[in-house]
């Protein structure tokens, strides 16, 4: 069991809605399960029979990049062409905005919000980091929302994301921000992965994902899933229900909306690793970026998130520019989510005093 989970206590103010307050996160080495043979202990199961503890999303300071010249980029032309076409279509969609039916605009915005939640509340906070637990109906909703977002299936997204946290800003980080804004934003999807990303990705503990039937179901039917949920359904609805033109439906509700969700998510990997403050840990690149938090429905508090990846709010705060946390809290009220992990203020304060740059706003 990771050491930080050994030191949990239930916060009295949140026992009604099952929040676990983590009072004293231990060193990264301990959280990595690097000592006491923790990585060999079997994962615990929750009420739904799902292993939920995370071990492989904490930074591993022991990794060293290989010496010598970096391998050359191998371009993936299929991705380059498809991404180019998508963004051309999205730009055309911007010009069609003024002539779109108001319902089409609302539909596109709603689809953006739901598909973004499929990434933030789903692939990110639930499946990559296990920061809270979700009952089957919510996991089905999040799996569908995640398919609407088409950013690789949950298994692949979570694997890449755990490697990103564990080997941040190194060759083994899939979107290593030290290779520049463009690479960490979208470039990493247009070239073959660095060999270290593949090598380290294979060594990760992904047993919780492999044992979750819903995650494997989405992976098996991913291609028809994205065709239907990312492209056909969002185009069909405006045409059928309020007589929108096929062109407006396709370019606004589908291509523009899809490109916006993609770019909002990518900004977390690019802008939030470059621009902003570092109140929690000045030794890492990820930063607090309000604009990214706005676009990525709450995922811009990235200095905090890389410091405390097990916090369900991905932020020190709860509903402050954080629609995803609001959504998870609503799901808790409905009984569909529970056991949200939250770092205590005392632990945050201690961490800021120890490793912050001095810009923490305090209690
Ligand atoms: Zn990051
Ligand atoms: Zn993360």
pLDDT of residue 34: 41
Cα(165) to ligand 1 centroid in Å equals 6
Query: Which-ligand-closest: CA of 57?
Result: 2
Mean pLDDT of 92-104: 97
Query: What tens digit of pLDDT does each residue of 200-209 get?
Result: 888 888 999 9
Q: Where are the beta strands (DSSP E) in the chain?
A: 8-10, 19-22, 133-134, 337-338, 340-343
Residue 43 pLDDT: 57
pLDDT tens digits for range 186-219: 999 999 999 999 998 888 889 999 999 999 999 9
Q: Are 28 and 59 in contact (CB under 8 A)?
A: yes
pLDDT higher than 60, residue 32: no
Measure 160 CA to ligand 1 centroid, in angstroms: 11
Residue 262: is its pLDDT beyond 90?
A: yes
Q: Domain ranges in the chain? A: 72-269
Paired with 9 in beta bridges are 21
* Contact (CB, 8 A) for 280 and 286: no
Closest-lying ligand to the alpha carbon of 123? 2
Rounded to two decimals, the pTM is 0.87
Q: What is the pLDDT of residues 103-118, one digit of tens each?
A: 999 999 999 999 999 9
Q: Which ligand is nearest to the CA of 286?
A: 1
- pLDDT per residue as tens digits for the range 327-351: 999 999 999 999 999 999 999 999 9
Between the CA of 297 and the centroid of ligand 2 the distance, in Å, is 14
* Model pLDDT, residue 56: 77
Dihedral sign of CA atoms 214, 217, 222, 223 in order: negative
Instruction: Compute the half-sphere exposure of residue 235: CA atoms within 13 Å on the CB side of its CA.
Output: 16
Cα–Cα distance, 132 to 134 (Å, whole number): 7
What is the distance in A from the centroid of ligand 1 to the CA of 3?
A: 23
Q: Which of 202, 177, 204, 199 is nearest to 188 (CA)?
A: 177
Which three-class secondary structure state does DSSP give residue 244?
A: coil
Q: What percent of the chain has pLDDT over 70?
A: 86
Ligand sitting nearest the alpha carbon of 324: 2
The CA 127 to ligand 2 mean position distance, Å, reads 10
> How far apart are the CA of 237 and the centre of ligand 1, in A?
35
pLDDT for residue 67 is more than 50: yes
């Amino acid at each position: 069991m990771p050491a930080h989970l050994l030191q949990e206590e239930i916060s009295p103010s949140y026992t009604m809605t099952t929040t676990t307050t983590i009072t004293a996160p231990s060193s990264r080495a301990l959280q990595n399960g690097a000592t006491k043979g923790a990585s060999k202990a079997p994962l615990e199961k929750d009420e739904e029979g799902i292993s939920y503890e995370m071990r492989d999303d904490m930074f591993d300071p022991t990794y060293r990049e290989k010496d010598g010249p970096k391998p050359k980029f191998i371009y993936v032309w299929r991705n380059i062409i498809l991404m180019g076409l998508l963004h051309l279509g999205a730009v055309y969609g911007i010009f069609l905005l003024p002539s779109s039916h108001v319902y089409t605009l609302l539909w596109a915005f709603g689809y953006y919000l739901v598909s973004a939640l499929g990434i933030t509340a789903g692939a990110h906070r639930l499946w990559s980091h296990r920061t809270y637990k979700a009952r089957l109906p919510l996991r089905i909703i999040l799996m569908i929302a995640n398919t609407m977002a088409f950013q690789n299936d949950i298994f692949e997204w979570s694997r890449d994301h755990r490697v990103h946290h564990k080997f941040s800003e190194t060759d083994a980080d899939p979107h290593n921000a030290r290779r520049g804004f463009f690479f960490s934003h979208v470039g990493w999807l247009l070239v073959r992965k660095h060999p270290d990303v593949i090598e380290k990705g294979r060594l990760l503990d992904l047993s919780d994902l492999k044992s979750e039937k819903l995650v494997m179901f989405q992976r098996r039917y991913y291609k028809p899933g994205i065709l239907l949920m990312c492209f056909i359904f969002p185009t069909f609805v405006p045409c059928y229900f309020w007589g929108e033109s096929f062109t407006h439906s396709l370019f606004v509700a589908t291509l523009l909306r899809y490109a916006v969700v993609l770019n909002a998510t990518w900004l977390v990997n690019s802008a939030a690793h470059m621009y902003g403050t570092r109140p929690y840990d000045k030794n890492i690149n990820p930063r607090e970026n309000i604009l990214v938090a706005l676009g990525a429905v709450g995922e811009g508090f990235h200095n905090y998130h890389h410091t405390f990846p097990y916090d369900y709010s991905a932020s020190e705060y709860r509903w402050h520019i954080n629609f995803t946390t609001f959504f998870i809290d609503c799901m808790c009220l409905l009984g569909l989510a529970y056991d949200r992990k939250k770092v205590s203020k005392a632990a945050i304060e201690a961490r800021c005093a120890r490793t912050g740059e001095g810009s923490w706003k305090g209690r």
